[in-house]
Structure 1
Amino acid sequence: MTKIRIGNYVYFDAEVQDLNVLPLLECLRFAINDGQPLEHYLKGILPPGEGGYCGGDPGWEICGSDNDLKNWYDGAGNRLYYAWTHQPVSELDPCDGYYPVDVVRHHVREVLENFRNLNPGRSAEVDAAIKRFELENA
């Protein structure tokens, strides 16, 4: 297993994950952090189906719709989220990508569990976020 730590609570496993997921993971490292309540950014992303936006410095965003509030879909009609990172900061190439809702939800849940493991005193907050955003099966 080759896990690479991306921020405090986000890990990338090169043996399991595709490199294309890195822009999403880079965004989640800023969205789930010590400095804000967990729901601060999550309420901008989840629940799926409502569009949604969250982002901030140093140049990252996750959105569920474009500027005209039109949602993105893949060729099979599945809803997508868009994640973007500021390339000079993230040094990712590509620095953005489109992700199915279930992939975003899976990674949000994974990062929340990593957060819980390192912050056991905030376990109730993690449980509340998982329940609010219906991530029990993500």
Structure 2
Amino acid sequence: MIEWGFGSLNSFQNNHPDAPLMYALGFALDHNHGTDHFLRGIFPPFSVGLLGGGDPGWVWYHNFNSVGDDVIVVEVDSTMAPPDGIWNEYNMEKIRYEVRIALDNFVYISPFHLNEVDLVIRKYDLLSVVAPTGCLKVSDWICEVPKKRIINLSK
């Protein structure tokens, strides 16, 4: 079981469908590279060959599903998710929701990043996001440090 990160699940098993995304979000908001450094590969305008990811052992990138809709593929290698690694693809609504929660949770933990997070939320138009079925609603962004972390309970 993994228990850390900024995503909407604070603990999850490798076989959870959101495990690759939660793992990636735990590393993607890296203030050493700039809060949006790894987000550039998963939001429009999509660039061919632009991968986001890094150590330890994860990558995410834009692709199309079988009907031609935009998806983001997230892969975690076998070193970090033994024995075979994990991967999944997510629609843009799910990506927007989870990234927005991660940004909210990031600024909750590190309030001194508020202005930078505000710029990222505006850059990727994450001011208002739709919660997927069964997930907690996220308030519209008003450039304030959230009063609590957003955690969706899931097994």
Q: What residue in structure 1 maps to residue 81 of structure 2?
A: 90
Mapped partners of 2:128, 2:119: distance in 1: 14
1:45 aligns with 2:42: yes
Larger strand share, 1 or 2: 1
What is the SS of the residue equivalent to 1:88? coil
Partner amino acid for 2:56?
P
TM-score scaled by length of structure 1: 0.76
2:56 aligned residue (55, 58, 83): 58
TM-score scaled by length of structure 2: 0.69
Partner amino acid for 2:52?
C
Mapped partners of 1:47, 1:116: distance in 2: 23
Identity rate, percent: 28
Mapped partners of 1:123, 1:36: distance in 2: 16
Following superposition, the deviation at residue 115 of structure 1 comes to: 0.3
1:101 aligned residue (84, 92, 95): 92
Query: Does the 8 Å contact 1:109/1:135 carry over to 2?
Result: yes
Q: Which runs of 5+ in 1 are unaligned?
A: 65-70
Mapped partners of 1:100, 1:22: distance in 2: 15
Larger helix share, 1 or 2: 1
Matched length = 125
Mapped partners of 1:21, 1:129: distance in 2: 23
Query: Does the 8 Å contact 1:23/1:85 carry over to 2?
Result: yes
Partner amino acid for 2:33?
Q
1:111 aligns with 2:107: no
Mapped partners of 1:59, 1:102: distance in 2: 25
Q: What residue in structure 2 maps to residue 122 of structure 1?
A: 113
